[in-house]
Structure 1
Amino acid sequence: MARFILAKLVKGVLVVLCVVVVNFFLIRLAPGDPASIMAGESGSSDPNYVAQLRTQFGLDRPLPVQMATYVLGVVRFDWGFSYRMKLPVLQLILDRLPATLLLMGSAFVFSVLLGIFLGVIASRTRYTGRRRWLDSLIVGGALLLYATPLFWLSLLMIVLFSVELGWLPAFGMETVGAGLTGWSRVLDITTHLVLPTVSLGSFYMAMYVRLTRASMLEVMGMDFVRTARAKGVAAPAVIRRHVLRNALLPVVTFSGIQLGQLAGGAVLTETVFGWPGIGRLMFDALMQRDYQLLLGVFLLTSAMVVVFNMLTDVIYRVVDPRIAFEGGR
């Protein structure tokens, strides 16, 4: 296990460094000049002033030199300086990271728990033949959520639960100017978290429903399940001890992929709901051509994807001890 984790760490570092280099050149190829944008915002179009800004931020150097300087800075945990925010990139990201992790964690737990629960119910009703309408209802609802665009679902939820019913707040992470503390502040943040969590997690929850249902039905038809039933083991025990544990392996695989995709989905969700996370920060940096901040956000999300995939491989060992990690493969 130690060799496996060490090998994964080495591979992960190499992957992140490759992503850093690729992202650097892709962003530099994007249209728009940060120096021209800064000069325009200050009300000056003087070419000498634009050239001065390019020299100040190192934009006049050759691309390989800029890339090497940035990679060396990343290794030293110096992710650059945001010319727009007038703050170090790492500080800006760390300030926004807790909000994004809170949203991602809530959406992940919501999608996994509800998706597996509904998938188990659908598979049991399908397998036993009782109340098969419930199976059709769950599968149809999951298909509807899967086919609904994320931004449209978010807007519909805002209109229904915030505008029409007035149950939940639509924007922000907490009530501005309320000055709440303690449990009152926790409750306020929770109410603001509900709509973004459901919006971001619904798509993945629908996939968990279908994946769990299909995996459960496949395992239910295997010989060891029929043997357990023939020995008189109660149906709930068969589902819990034999079927569900074996059916969870594909779910664990997909959950590791989902954690990486949640960071990308959070960009749209945070923008729609005004959630102050790194997704909203990345959107603002893109609009302002803040290259250093964009690179920092991309670096963080790439590292998160690598870490999540490593955790998925380790959880495989917990779910099914028969899987052996040999030599870091």
Structure 2
Amino acid sequence: MLKFILRRIGVSALVLLGASFLMYMLVINSGDPLKDLRESNAQNREQLMAQRAELLRLDDSPLERYWDWLSGVLGCFTGNCDLGVTINGVQVLGLTQQAAASSLRLITLATLLAIVVGVALGILTAIRQYSGFDYTITFSAFLFFSLPVFWAATLLKEYAAIQYNNWIAVGQYAPWTIVIAAAVVGFVLQAVLGGSTRRRLVTAGSAFAFVAVVMFVFNALNWWREPTFGLAGVLVVSGAAGVLVTALVTGLRNRRVLYAALTTTVVGVVAYLAFAPLLVNQPSWLLLAGLFVLTLLVSAGIGAAWGGFSRRQAVLVTLVTGVITSLLVVGDILIANWASFLGLKSRPISTIGSQTPNFTGDFWERVLDMGTQIILPTVLLTLVSVATHSRYTRSSMLETLNQDYVRTARSKGLSEREVIVKHAFRNALIPITTIVAFDFAALIGGAVITEQVFGWKGMGALFQDGLNAVDPAPVMAFFLVTGVAAVLMNLVADLAYAALDPRIRR
């Protein structure tokens, strides 16, 4: 395996080297970097042109300029990283650090959401093939996949930002809105669960009544402007998540694993009570990272202690339950700070930028600000990727479900959960892993347009500004970050192949 990894890294390095040379040559020959100065009427125009020519080393040969850039990149391995300067004399390294942090945060979050949602929808549509739910998801997938990114972004800015900001000033649903929302939820739920006509009607009616009552209660409590979740909410939702994860991994008959998941939930809530003063009064990213690592360690310990003969599955279940519990804790704190955040920013969903300029809130209010800024571009990129993931997952699952070993598993009397999770899904993941790696690279390209529409100062803006000015340094910085990220994702995919299929390890 080590030899395989080293060989892949070597091949990837050669690919990046050749691609970087081609990209550099294309950029420096894409236009005239002195065009704006040639058209200038400034009295010192010649002097300015000479300064820029010296800054960009236009008198040197392209090979010398490329070698100079490559030497600066190789210096990153020795601590002397030099990515050059922009056409205005600004160090590209500093710009790249800021832009990469914004773009990778956006792309990583969109990728994770797309994988979870897309794979889940793909499995459900494969199990419910040719059902109303399958047709609905299939139609939606093709619709989202074919949507032009810039047009979908405009719709999101109008309805998910501008109209939402107008509505949140009051935070009350109109009666017709409650009726329509409840009807849509009831229709979707009965399509997902299926069954006889009577069962569908009961499902739709129950869902309609439940959603309508909840929305009326939220109106009465003014929940959307002054929301609460609380310790009880964290306990109930995380406990339900633990039961669900247990049902998927081992089944509810394995009591030791179920008890491990519930123990993780209780310990997480108790830890929330213990660390609440620190989280509320002295929060920091370092504290959150440390508590998250502690969560993983404690969760794994609980799984190992309870697991018995199912120790491996118990550790997996408790780790997932612990992560969900920690996310719910953070969500509860953010919900508690939503009212004060609205006091500082009455129109919370922004359409431009990655953060609000001169925002003066505390730590959690700044987290809310960053979250509301990232939500629209993340939703846009996720919708496009979910379409791809769901279709490939459905296709792969259907192919796997028709294999002989799946029929054999059913004939041996295994439960449908075991057949789907242990036999079909594991083998269906191999082609899906390939799509995830390629989709990450595609998301980077799509993020260039998304960042432009939402005014997100990330790698896309760096690339576009450099290309428009025929300035190779910012463009090559974009290539360096996104190219390395794409290569790493493909390497992770190769390692995932080996984990999923032991034959590949040989």
What TM-score do the two structures reach when normalised by structure 2? 0.60
Residues of 2 paired with 1:229 and 1:299: CA distance? 49
AA aligned opposite 1:310: L
Which structure 2 residues correspond to residues 56-71 of structure 1 after superposition, within 5 A?
56-71=55-70
The answer to whether the 8 A contact 2:430-2:500 is kept is yes
* 1:177 match: secondary structure: coil
Residues of 1 paired with 2:457 and 2:362: CA distance? 19
1:271 corresponds to = 452
1:83 corresponds to = 87
- How far residue 150 of structure 1 moved from its aligned partner, in angstroms, is 1.1
Moved more, 159-168 or 10-19: 159-168
Sequence identity (%): 32
Which structure 2 residues correspond to residues 1-329 of structure 1 after superposition, within 5 A?
1-31=1-31, 33-37=32-36, 43-44=42-43, 46-47=45-46, 49-76=48-75, 77-84=81-88, 86-126=89-129, 132-166=131-165, 168-324=349-505
AA aligned opposite 1:91: G
The Cα offsets for residues 149-172 of structure 1, whole Å up to 9 and x where unpaired, read as 111111111111112232632222
Name the count of aligned residue pairs.
319
- What are the ranges of 5 or more consecutive residues in structure 2 without an aligned counterpart? 76-80, 169-348
The answer to whether the 8 A contact 1:270-1:277 is kept is yes
The answer to whether the 8 A contact 1:118-1:209 is kept is yes
- How far residue 38 of structure 1 moved from its aligned partner, in angstroms, is 5.2
Residues of 1 paired with 2:41 and 2:140: CA distance? 52
- How far residue 17 of structure 1 moved from its aligned partner, in angstroms, is 1.2
Residues of 2 paired with 1:157 and 1:215: CA distance? 31
- How far residue 58 of structure 1 moved from its aligned partner, in angstroms, is 0.8
The Cα offsets for residues 85-129 of structure 1, whole Å up to 9 and x where unpaired, read as x32212210122111111011110111111111111111111xx6
- How far residue 274 of structure 1 moved from its aligned partner, in angstroms, is 1.4
- How far residue 317 of structure 1 moved from its aligned partner, in angstroms, is 1.3
AA aligned opposite 2:2: A
Change in Cα spacing, 1:226 to 1:154, as seen in structure 2 (3 Å) is same
- How far residue 48 of structure 1 moved from its aligned partner, in angstroms, is 5.2
Change in Cα spacing, 1:41 to 1:171, as seen in structure 2 (3 Å) is farther
The answer to whether the 8 A contact 2:28-2:471 is kept is no
Q: Which has the higher contact order (CA 8 A, sep 6+)?
A: 1
The answer to whether the 8 A contact 1:252-1:316 is kept is yes
Change in Cα spacing, 1:41 to 1:181, as seen in structure 2 (3 Å) is farther
Change in Cα spacing, 1:318 to 1:155, as seen in structure 2 (3 Å) is same
Structure whose alpha-carbon radius of gyration is higher: 2
Residues of 1 paired with 2:148 and 2:362: CA distance? 36
- How far residue 79 of structure 1 moved from its aligned partner, in angstroms, is 1.5
The answer to whether the 8 A contact 1:19-1:299 is kept is no
Residues of 2 paired with 1:34 and 1:259: CA distance? 32
The Cα offsets for residues 257-290 of structure 1, whole Å up to 9 and x where unpaired, read as 1112221111111111112211122222223332
